[in-house]
Amino acid sequence: MIGLAALLPILLASPGPDDGAPGRPDDLRRHQGTWAVVRSIRDGEEGPVDAMKEITRVVEGDRVVWERSGEPFAATRFELDPDADPKAIDLIPEGGPNRGEKVLGIYAFEDDLLVLCTADAGRPRPTSFEAGPGSGTTLMTFRRLDPADAPPPGDSP
């Protein structure tokens, strides 16, 4: 069974608050708000559903605060490259063993879902939304908790 350790590459590398965040403003806006973990796959193994239910990702500006049952336990900053194909995200952990080291990933929006695929620190950026066995990648899907936080229709990246 995969525990919170499987989430660490993502947790140590998430997006958050700062009006000067790199990336196209509309993509940065779409990241904002509170997101619940819907699914997590790390190296081909599905994360535990019960543990996922307790975790949220709160994004303000270029900063992400990870919460478990409403209590913060990790934070990251992020930089976006919405013109890359697929769209790229660099996550910069604010603490932990990878503090300050960029964790490379890709992202996509699908309605009220955000899909992130990140490599382990020090590994190349993923090129597809897959996290197969031995890949050193984590694939996570998030659902926006408050649809009222979503940007108006037509504000696609």
Q: What is the pLDDT of residue 80?
A: 98
- Residue 151 inside a domain? The answer is no
- Residue 83 inside a domain? The answer is yes
d(CA 93, CA 12): 4
Q: What is the pLDDT of residue 51?
A: 85
Q: What is the pLDDT of residue 157?
A: 39
Q: What is the pLDDT of residue 50?
A: 84
- Residue 118 inside a domain? The answer is yes
Note the maximum CA span of the chain: 41
Q: How far is residue 11 from each of residues 40, 42, 157, measured CA to CA in Å?
A: 12, 13, 24
Q: Give me the tens of pLDDT residue by residue for the chain, a chain 157 residues long.
A: 344 444 444 444 443 333 344 456 699 999 999 999 999 999 999 999 888 889 999 999 999 999 999 999 999 999 999 999 999 999 999 999 989 999 999 999 998 999 999 999 999 999 999 999 999 999 999 999 976 655 555 444 3
Domain count, the chain: 1
- Residue 153 inside a domain? The answer is no
DSSP labels, 43-99 = TTEEPPHHHHHTEEEEEETTEEEEEETTEEEEEEEEEEETTSSS-EEEEEESSSTTT
Give, in degrees to the nearest 5, the angle at Cα 40 between 35 and 42.
140
What pTM was estimated for this model as a whole? 0.79
d(CA 101, CA 90): 10
Q: How far is residue 12 from each of residues 77, 143, 157, measured CA to CA in Å?
A: 9, 19, 25
Neighbours of 137 (CB within 10 A): 26
d(CA 156, CA 6): 30
Supply the range of the domain harboring residue 15: 4-146
CATH number at residue 109: 2.40.128.280
- Strand, helix or coil for residue 27: helix
- Residue 74 inside a domain? The answer is yes
Residues 102, 87: contact at Cβ < 8 Å?
Answer: no
d(CA 116, CA 33): 15
- Residue 142 inside a domain? The answer is yes
